[in-house]
């Protein structure tokens, strides 16, 4: 046994003592599946699978038809089959499958459901969560307060909150012209979100977006965070289920290659960070892609208030089909669909693919960061 003592303190959420205060962020579509989540759990962090398009991914993998409920149940069960803690990320924008994914995850004993891309106002009402921690993702103190007020009426208090700043990968919880604002820097948002967490019962605050090194983690813990959530660094691991091309695009990405797609952008309307050479983004900029969303996971309300509209189905001018692009990046339908690579700003610092163990050893300070 080594005598190593990490400078990082454990993260306690709903009585779960997570030895390493690092949450591997959910990465859809199909990037964080059970192999990644299980590997992170084994190293003492909280591993998170993504529920996005999981019915298709698990059905393809097993050759058997899975519903969203069954797919969430299966993937969480597999992630939890090793040691440590594992949960699931369920995005609010995936309206059609939301409740079934929540139920499948709770029934499978997920340690946590982490939910953003829209305010998860009704999450506690979907099903009694039992031992599953319910954790909203917010990008402002105001959003957290709204959630706490609504959840109070449902007699539930968040078990923790993830505060995601503007440097993250995936969808961003900011308007396009607010991304660069000084006030929206993670370190500036943190004290305000901590105040709300304190007011509603002093639950843990986890920060996300642009955290890269062991020193970054230590710095945010000193600033008052209870843990960190990291995506991009786990994207570039052996255990992530991103395609080989996707991982190589991350390794090759330079600072100037990482842009925020907005118009054309994601059909859910939120800014979305991508590598600008992603084949689907290149086609979208040229409007050379036919409007052919045939998936319908990301839905907006129609005039009657029903969730029936996917903007990428109607036109190729302002939106691209994020589901098809991301499915292709996870190796699904690659022969028919162009890939779309989402990353956080720090992807340009990544120069190699490593194992989760090597990454966790570096992040906990056990070994120094490797240099080229």
Ligand X SMILES: Cc1cc2nc3c(=O)[nH]c(=O)nc-3n(C[C@H](O)[C@H](O)[C@H](O)COP(=O)(O)O)c2cc1C
**Least Cβ distance, residue 305 to ligand X (angstroms):** 25
Q: Which is nearer to ligand X, 230 or 304 (CB)?
A: 230
User: Residue 343, interface with ligand X (CB under 6 A)?
Assistant: yes
* C-alpha to C-alpha distance for 159 and 138, rounded to whole angstroms: 14
Q: Which is nearer to ligand X, 180 or 317 (CB)?
A: 180
How many residues lie near ligand X (CB under 6 A)? 30
Choose among 118, 127, 195, 114: nearest CA to 156: 127
**Least Cβ distance, residue 275 to ligand X (angstroms):** 10
**Least Cβ distance, residue 208 to ligand X (angstroms):** 4
Query: What is the DSSP secondary structure assignment for residue 134, as one 8-state letter?
Result: E
User: Residue 235, interface with ligand X (CB under 6 A)?
Assistant: yes
Among 41, 46, 52, 312, binds ligand X (CB under 6 A): 52
User: Residue 229, interface with ligand X (CB under 6 A)?
Assistant: yes
**Least Cβ distance, residue 341 to ligand X (angstroms):** 8
**Least Cβ distance, residue 116 to ligand X (angstroms):** 4
String of contacts with ligand X for each residue 70-109, x by CB under 6 A? -------------------x-x------------------
Choose among 293, 268, 280, 284: nearest CA to 318: 284
User: Residue 50, interface with ligand X (CB under 6 A)?
Assistant: yes
String of contacts with ligand X for each residue 14-33, x by CB under 6 A? -----------xxxx--x--
**Least Cβ distance, residue 287 to ligand X (angstroms):** 25
Q: Which is nearer to ligand X, 220 or 302 (CB)?
A: 220
* C-alpha to C-alpha distance for 341 and 343, rounded to whole angstroms: 7
User: Residue 344, interface with ligand X (CB under 6 A)?
Assistant: yes
Would you say 179 and 150 are in contact if contact means Cβ atoms under 8 Å apart?
A: no
CB under 6 A: which stretch of 105-113, 196-204, 286-294, 343-351 binds ligand X?
Answer: 343-351
**Tokens 């997570």 appear where?**
18
Which residues inside 155-214 make contact with ligand X, applying CB under 6 A?
A: 164, 167-170, 208-211
Choose among 46, 72, 79, 45: nearest CA to 57: 72
Which residues inside 296-335 make contact with ligand X, applying CB under 6 A?
A: none
Q: Which is nearer to ligand X, 84 or 166 (CB)?
A: 166
DSSP per residue, 309-357: E-HHHH-SSSB--HHHHHHHHTTSSTTTS----B--GGGGG--S-B-HH
Length of the chain: 372
**Least Cβ distance, residue 290 to ligand X (angstroms):** 25
149's CB contacts (< 8 A; 6+ apart) are none
**Tokens 């590598």 appear where?**
275
Would you say 6 and 366 are in contact if contact means Cβ atoms under 8 Å apart?
A: yes
CB under 6 A: which stretch of 193-201, 227-235, 295-303, 361-369 binds ligand X?
Answer: 227-235
**Least Cβ distance, residue 191 to ligand X (angstroms):** 20
182's CB contacts (< 8 A; 6+ apart) are 188
Q: Which is nearer to ligand X, 78 or 275 (CB)?
A: 275
Q: Phi/psi at 191 (nearest 5 deg)?
A: -60, -35
Which residues inside 116-145 make contact with ligand X, applying CB under 6 A?
A: 116-117, 137
| Burial annotation 155-182 (CB, 10 A radius, 16+ → b, else e) | ebebbbbbbbbbbbbbbbbbeeeebeee
Choose among 15, 157, 1: nearest CA to 85: 15
- For ligand X, the binding residues (CB under 6 A) are 25-28, 31, 50, 52, 89, 91, 116-117, 137, 164, 167-170, 208-211, 229-232, 235, 342-344, 346
């Amino acid at each position: 046994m080594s005598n190593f003592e990490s400078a990082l303190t454990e993260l306690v959420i709903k009585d779960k003592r997570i030895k390493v205060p690092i949450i591997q962020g959910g990465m859809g579509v199909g990037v964080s599946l059970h192999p990644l989540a299980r590997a992170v759990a084994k190293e003492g962090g909280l591993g998170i699978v993504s529920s996005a398009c999981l019915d298709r991914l698990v059905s393809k993998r097993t050759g058997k038809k899975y519903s969203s409920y069954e797919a969430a149940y299966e993937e969480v069960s597999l992630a939890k089959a090793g040691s440590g803690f594992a949960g699931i990320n369920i995005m609010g924008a995936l309206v059609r499958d939301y409740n079934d994914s929540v139920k499948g995850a709770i029934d499978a004993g997920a340690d946590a459901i982490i939910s953003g891309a829209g305010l998860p106002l009704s999450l506690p009402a979907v099903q009694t969560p039992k031992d599953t921690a319910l954790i909203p993702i917010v990008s402002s103190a105001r959003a957290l307060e709204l959630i706490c007020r609504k959840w109070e009426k449902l007699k539930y208090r968040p078990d923790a909150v993830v505060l995601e700043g503007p440097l993250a990968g995936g969808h961003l919880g900011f308007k396009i012209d607010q991304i660069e604002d000084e006030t929206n820097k993670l370190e500036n948002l943190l004290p305000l979100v901590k105040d709300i967490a304190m007011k509603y019962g002093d639950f843990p605050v986890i920060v996300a977006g642009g955290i890269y090194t062991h020193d970054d983690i230590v710095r945010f813990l000193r600033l008052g965070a209870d843990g960190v959530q990291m995506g991009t660094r786990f994207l570039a691991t052996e255990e992530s289920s991103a395609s080989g091309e996707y991982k190589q695009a991350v390794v090759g990405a330079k600072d100037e290659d990482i842009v925020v797609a907005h118009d054309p952008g994601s059909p859910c309307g939120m800014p979305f960070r991508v590598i600008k050479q992603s084949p689907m983004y290149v086609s979208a900029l040229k409007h050379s892609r036919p409007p052919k969303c045939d998936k319908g996971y990301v839905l907006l309300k129609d005039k009657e208030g029903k969730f029936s509209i996917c903007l990428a189905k109607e036109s190729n001018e302002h939106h691209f089909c994020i589901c098809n692009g991301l499915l292709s990046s996870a190796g699904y339908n690659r022969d028919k669909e162009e890939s779309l690579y989402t990353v956080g700003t720090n992807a340009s610092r990544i120069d190699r693919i490593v194992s989760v163990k090597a990454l966790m050893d570096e992040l906990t300070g056990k070994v120094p960061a490797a240099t080229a």
